[in-house]
Every structure is written in structure tokens, then in C-alpha cells.
Amino acid sequence: MDTIVLLGTAKMDITPAFPAELQPAHPLRPDAATETVRRLYARVAVFQRKSERGQSHYAVVISADIIYFVDQRIDSLRKQLYERWGIPGEAILLQGTHTHSAPYPGSRFGETFDGPYRPFIELLETAVLQGVELAMANLEPVDAERGSGSCGFATYRRKRENGNIVMAPSDEGPTDPEVTVIRFRKRDGHTKCAFVHYACHPTTTYGNAFSSEFPGVATEQVEAALGNDAVALYLQGCCGDIRPAVVRDGRFYAGSNLEVTRFGCELAAAALEVLSTGMEPLRFVPFEFRCTRVRLPFQSQPTSAELEAHKDKADAWGAWSRILLEHPERNVPFELLRIGYIRLADGLAFLAMNGEAVAEYGLYTKRVFAGKVLPMGYCNGHTTYIPTAAQLKEGGFESYTAFYSSGRPSPYDPSIEQAIKEAILELVEKL
């Protein structure tokens, strides 16, 4: 018997009507943003399957134009969704598109420090809950299909110069140009929803204004082309070391809305080309949800004496020391990477990581599972960059600087790559 799945969707505006500081901080953003260049949205897709006994089973995918959902807000949102509709936490995927032109949805140091971010937290979470409610009200049967194309504006951002790794465009590392599109059609043939999966940092611009960046341009163009109130969700892949090729004289520069629009149009064109060709039908199956945690050990932990020796310095080491002295709970031997697995159809599953995984992890996932599992970063919370073993030995922003600037004890141990890949295999292939 074919599995019948119903889908409900919603698109909620989360653009602040109040000044808000954009994150991460940047010298081009000295003040709180008040201008809106491109509106921010939270897009919601709720899937419902009924068992032979009539029991409802749900899966929820939420893509929001934020940098990511912070750890301390995930449990609260999942609890509210469970209490209201009985949706288990592992069936809920909360992802930020990772635009760097949105307010921070909470403090990276935990709930105690959420005070300055409260207005946007309340706006975002109210929109998410209302979006799920609206989606529940328009559930209807759908069929699914998938296809893939290519988009080429993303570039590797780690370049070796004079023995060091600098953030500059490079042809030496991997990128993932594949654009995967999932279409959900209503019984009348019209598209109800589309997923557009791609891997690239939305860091085209550092203008001091709210912007959904190129994912927003792409999804809005796809929605306009599909018509009939179709909702398009951008699903961010593993892009920790990939960014748009806003390049001049061999270096990245901060682009404007002109470049944002250009890249968004390129991605939309690639997605629409896939939608216009013959796509492969997908067969829904009983939903599957699994999750695991991987221990990511740090290379070392500083002693209190070491931190005290640096704390009065005006450089990066001083800032690092002060963070760890003020937040001793961060000086730990390891962190946990959370990986979730959600399977909706034969040929459609999501591997959702809460870290900022580099491209190699996404390419590995696609390779070993023949493209049937879509790798996603920035899901259900956030740790930090997840580099490869080779990158941790090379140094550079993603595998050295970012750890100290975010107040970690040290970079991760290179053993994490093997541990993560083994965990991915075990999680997906687990019977």
C-alpha cells in the first residue's frame, strides 16, 4: 500500500520593526541596523502521515533567514511544538539559512545572556509557532519528486600563502556546486512546496541592513515562478569553507545588494531549470527519525595561570583569556556534535548537523549514500566550525582562529573527522 502524506506550509515575516545588531559583528556594522534591503522570513513545511490505525505522525522542516538557531532556544521550541501537537523533538528540523545579515537569535553564551536579544527571540519564536499552526490548517495530500542541477558561484575560501592559510579564493579545495530540488505537488498538479538545497555561505555583503541574502532572492524568485502560493525553502548544505565568489584582484570584498541579487538569480535559474525538466518521482515511506551525538575533543585546555597571564593584553589572546575566565564553563575537554536523521521518502532523507561543517562532510555524505541523503549544517543549535583533520593541521580561520575568537579552549583534535564519518555511517545505516 502506498504511503499517503499530507503537507502544510507557511511563510512568516520575521523582519524586525526595531533596531537590531547584526551578527556576527563586523567593522562595516558599527551601529544597530534599521534599514531593510530584503525581508527576512521563516518558512515552514509540516508533513503528516497516518498509520493504519489512524494515528498521525509528523515531520517538520523550518528554514529561517537567521544565522542559526541557538542551542538554548531549541529545547523550548521543541517542547512547545510537542505540547501543542505531539510532534517529537527528533522529528523537528530547525535550520538557519546562515545569512549574516539578520539579528542574532540569542546569545552564544547561553540563556543567562539572552537579554539584549529578547525582542528578536520573541519575534522569531512567535512566528515559528504561528507558522506551524497555519501549516497544520492547510494540510493536503502531495506527491514528491526530485532532481538536480548545478550552480557555480561558490568558491573555496582557504588559500595557502607563504606557508599560512588565509581567507582568500582558492582552486585547491573542494566545493559542492550541486543544486538539489525537491518538489511537492498537490493533486491538481500545482506545486505546494519546493526545497532548494545548496552549499554556500550567505556572506556576499556586510552592509548594515537586514537581508535574507542570496537564499532569499532565490527562494522568492522560485516562489514567484511557481505561483499558486507555493513556498520554497532554502536548505543550507555543508559550507563552512565555501563562500560566494565576490572577488577582486584575488581577494574577497564586501559586495552590495547588486551581487546578492546576481547570485540569487543564478541559484534561482538553476533551481527552475531542474523544475522544468523531468524529475524523478519519490515514493513516501513511513517516517524515520534518529539522532546521535559525537564527542569532539579539544587539543588542549589552558590552565587558570595561562589565562591570567594573557588577560590584560589588548590583542586576540587577551580577549580569548577574558572570555574563558568570565565563562569557565567553556573551558571543557570536549564538545558534542549533534547529528539528526530524518527520512521522508525512498530517496529523500536529511542529515542535520548543529555545527558549521566544511564541504568535505557534505560531499562524503552524498558520496557514500548515492545522493539519497541531503547533508545540512546549522541545524538544531550550533557548536562551531567542523574542519577536516587536514585543515586542523593546516590552521587558518575555520580550524584555528575561529576557535579562539569564539572562546573555545583550543581547536578540535584531528581525530574528529574519522569519528564524525563513522557516526554518520552508523546513524544512516542503522536498522
- Cα–Cα distance, 5 to 344 (Å, whole number): 9
Quote the pLDDT of residue 25. Answer: 73
Residue among 201, 195, 231, 233 at smallest CA distance from 347: 195
The residue whose grid cell reads 584582484 is 249
Distances in whole angstroms, Cα of residue 25 to Cα of each of 21, 28, 100, 324: 8, 9, 9, 20
- Cα–Cα distance, 422 to 43 (Å, whole number): 32
Question: Mind giving me the DSSP string for 73-125?
Answer: HHHHHHHHHHHHH---GGGEEEEE---SSEE-SS-TT-GGG-GGGHHHHHHHH
Distances in whole angstroms, Cα of residue 148 to Cα of each of 179, 234, 301: 5, 14, 44
Question: Mind giving me the DSSP string for 214-237?
Answer: HHHHHHHHHHHHH-TT-EEEEEE-
Residue among 332, 296, 303 at smallest CA distance from 413: 296
Question: 337 forms bridges with which residues in the sheet?
Answer: 294
* Residue 42 CB coordination number (10 Å): 26
Cβ pair 15, 42 in contact under 8 A: no
Residues 162, 164, 166, 169, CA torsion sign: positive
Quote the pLDDT of residue 31. Answer: 85
Residues 392, 395, 397, 400, CA torsion sign: positive
Quote the pLDDT of residue 28. Answer: 77
Ramachandran angles phi, psi of 258, nearest 5°: -60, -50
| Residuewise pLDDT in 10s, the chain (431 residues) | 568 999 999 999 999 999 999 977 777 788 899 999 999 999 999 999 988 777 899 999 999 999 999 988 999 999 999 999 999 999 999 999 999 999 989 877 777 778 888 999 999 999 999 999 999 999 999 999 999 999 999 999 999 999 999 999 999 999 999 999 999 999 999 999 999 999 999 999 999 999 999 999 999 999 999 999 999 999 999 999 999 999 999 999 999 999 999 999 999 999 999 999 989 999 999 999 999 999 999 999 999 999 999 999 999 999 999 999 999 999 999 999 999 999 999 999 999 999 999 999 999 999 999 999 999 999 999 989 999 999 999 999 999 999 999 999 999 999 999 999 999 999 999 75
Q: What angle do CA 95, 99, 105 make, to 5 degrees?
A: 60
Encoded amino acid at 7, one letter? L
The residue whose grid cell reads 552592509 is 207
- Cα–Cα distance, 232 to 360 (Å, whole number): 26
Look up residue 370 and give its three cell numbers.
Answer: 548515492
